[in-house]
C-alpha cells in the first residue's frame, strides 16, 4: 500500500530557519492553502528557534526528527548515530514542551545502514523516505524556476507522492558560517516559500489533492511494519 493516486504531501528538512523568514513565511503559505506538512527538524535548530517549533505544531503540522546535527548517518558509528537520534528527539521535545508523537525520522542525506534502521525501530521510530525530490538543498534562488518545474514534473510522472524540500540547510552553526561566505548561495533558503506556493498553485490547477489528512501517512505499513513508500534513496548496508 502506498500514497493514493493524485495525492501529494509536502515534507521539509533541516529547519526551522529564521534567515529571510524562511520557515515563518513557509508556514504562512501552507496556512493560506490549508495544507498540512511534515517538518523534519534538526535538534540544534529546534534549540535555536523554539518559537518556530511550537508554531509548526500549533498550526497542525507533523514534527519529525532529522537528528541533532547535519552529519550524515552513514558517516556515524552506532553510538554516534544513537546519540544523534536521541539528542535530536530531546531538543525537539524540549522546544515543544512535550514528547514527540508519533515518532517519525528521516536521516540527514537519506543514507543509512540496516543496524541504524533497527536502532530507529527499537526506539519507536518510523523511517520516512521520500518519493519526489529536486535537490533544492544545493540550489540557490537563481534556480527557483528549475526546482519548481522539476518538482511538478516528478509529481506528474508518479501521479502524486511525498515531496522533499528544505526550509533550512544544515545546522544553525554551519549555516551562519556559510551565509557569511555566500549570502545568496544554497544556504539562503528565503526563496523556498515562494517556490512552494508556485508548486501548490500548479498542482491544485492540475487537480491534485494536497489536503489529504496527513494522519494517513503514519498508518501506511507493509506486512513487515516498514513504511511502505518506495525508498528512492540508496540504503547503505553494512
Provide the CATH number for the domain around residue 102: 3.20.20.370
More confident of the two residues 220 and 86: 86
Flag whether 238 is in a domain. no
Query: Is residue 230 in some structural domain?
Result: no
Please give the share of the chain, as a percent, with pLDDT higher than 90: 59
Domain count, the chain: 1
- Determine the pLDDT at residue 180: 86
Reply yes or no on whether the pLDDT at 177 is more than 80.
Answer: yes
Phi, psi of 164 (to 5 degrees): -110, 125
* Structural domain of 101: 8-219
Phi-psi region of 119 (alpha: psi -120 to 50; beta: other; left: phi over 0): alpha
- Within a domain: residue 130? yes
**Residue indicated by cell numbers 513557509:** 26
The predicted pLDDT at position 128 comes to 84
**SS3 state at 41:** strand
Task: Give the pLDDT score at 217.
Answer: 55
pLDDT of residue 215: 54
Is 232 inside any structural domain? Answer: no
pTM for the predicted model, two decimal places:
0.89
Give the lowest-confidence range in 78-82, 99-103, 170-174.
170-174
| Percentage of residues of the chain with pLDDT beyond 70 | 88
Highest mean pLDDT among 6-10, 94-98, 179-183: 94-98
* Distance of alpha carbon 212 from alpha carbon 208, whole angstroms: 10
Reply yes or no on whether the pLDDT at 230 is more than 70.
no
Res 19: pLDDT:
86
Residue 224 lies in a domain: no
Instruction: With CA atoms as reference, report the closest residue to 165 among 184, 148, 142.
Output: 148
Is pLDDT above 50 for 224? Answer: no
User: Using CA atoms, how far apart are residues 42 and 47, in angstroms rounded to an integer?
Assistant: 9
Question: At residue 75, does pLDDT exceed 50?
Answer: yes
Q: Evaluate whether residue 227 is within a structural domain.
A: no
H helices of 66-223, in order, are 78-96, 114-122, 144-158, 172-181, 192-205
Mean pLDDT, rounded, for 5-15: 91
Domain for residue 234, yes or no? no
In a domain, 237, yes or no: no
Contact indicator for 18, 24 with CB cutoff of 8 Å: yes
Mean model confidence pLDDT for the chain = 86
More confident residue, 87 or 221: 87
Is residue 23 over pLDDT 80? yes
* 84/86 Cα distance (integer angstroms): 6
Q: What is the mean pLDDT of residues 30-42?
A: 95
Residues paired with 62 in a beta bridge: 38
- Cα radius of gyration rounded to whole Å, the chain: 17
Confidence of residue 48 (pLDDT cuts 50, 70, 90): very high
Contact (Cβ atoms closer than 8 angstroms) between residue 116 and residue 124 = no
Amino acid at each position: 500500500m502506498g500514497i493514493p493516486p493524485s495525492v501529494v504531501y509536502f515534507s521539509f528538512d533541516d529547519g526551522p530557519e529564521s534567515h529571510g523568514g524562511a520557515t515563518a513565511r513557509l508556514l504562512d503559505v501552507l496556512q493560506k492553502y490549508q495544507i498540512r506538512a511534515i517538518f523534519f527538524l534538526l535538534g540544534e535548530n529546534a534549540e535555536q528557534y523554539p518559537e518556530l517549533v511550537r508554531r509548526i505544531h500549533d498550526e497542525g503540522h507533523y514534527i519529525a526528527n532529522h537528528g541533532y546535527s547535519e552529519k550524515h548517518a552513514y558517516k556515524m558509528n552506532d553510538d554516534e548515530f544513537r546519540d544523534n537520534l536521541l539528542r535530536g528527539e530531546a531538543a525537539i521535545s524540549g522546544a515543544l514542551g512535550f514528547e514527540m508523537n508519533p515518532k517519525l525520522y528521516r536521516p540527514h542525506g537519506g543514507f543509512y545502514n540496516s543496524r541504524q534502521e533497527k536502532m530507529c525501530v527499537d526506539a519507536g521510530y518510523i523511517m520516512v523516505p521520500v518519493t519526489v525530490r529536486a535537490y533544492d538543498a544545493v540550489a540557490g534562488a537563481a534556480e527557483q524556476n528549475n526546482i519548481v518545474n522539476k518538482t511538478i514534473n516528478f509529481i506528474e510522472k508518479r501521479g502524486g507522492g511525498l515531496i522533499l524540500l528544505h526550509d533550512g540547510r544544515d545546522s544553525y552553526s554551519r549555516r551562519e558560517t556559510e551565509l557569511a561566505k555566500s549570502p545568496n548561495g544554497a544556504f539562503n533558503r528565503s526563496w523556498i516559500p515562494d517556490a512552494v506556493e508556485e508548486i501548490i498553485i500548479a498542482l491544485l490547477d492540475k487537480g491534485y489533492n494536497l489536503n489529504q489528512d496527513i494522519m494517513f501517512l503514519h498508518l501506511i505499513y507493509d506486512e513487515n511494519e516498514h513504511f511502505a513508500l518506495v525508498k528512492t534513496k540508496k540504503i547503505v548496508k553494512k
